[in-house]
Amino acid sequence: MHELSLCQAIAGVVRPHAVGRHVDIVRVKVGALRQVVPESLEFCWSLLREHEGMPDAELELELVAAEVKCRSCGHHCEITSKWSVLCPLCDSADVEIVHGKEFQVTSLEVT
């Protein structure tokens, strides 16, 4: 499952930072183009966190909208479709993805 491997990746980042401390909150930035279902991610995390020695660490997701810069018309646009990254103004596929591919642990709260 996609979400499960993402959770393992999150835990892999958190673990070396947490050493011996209690993890309360893990903040993760998730781009829209990652096609992550937030509920599934949270569900997988709730299964995995126990094994990772952080049984009550909460996942806080920051969702990042997809944004492209179009090389054809030069516009900067937010993409609302989850499945295509064509420029919404001129339908060009020649776009540079500015945001939406993020998947990153941004901060931790430990005690």
Contacting residues toward Zn ion, per CB under 5 A: 70, 72-73, 87, 89-90, 92
Backbone φ and ψ for 53, nearest 5 degrees, come out as 75, 20
Q: Minimum distance from CB of 75 to Zn ion (Å)?
A: 5
Is 29 or 69 the residue whose CB approaches Zn ion more closely?
69
DSSP type of residue 89? T
Is 73 or 97 the residue whose CB approaches Zn ion more closely?
73
Is 92 or 104 the residue whose CB approaches Zn ion more closely?
92
3 state DSSP class of 40 = helix
Give the angle 104-85-83 at the CA atoms, nearest 5°: 80
Q: Minimum distance from CB of 86 to Zn ion (Å)?
A: 8
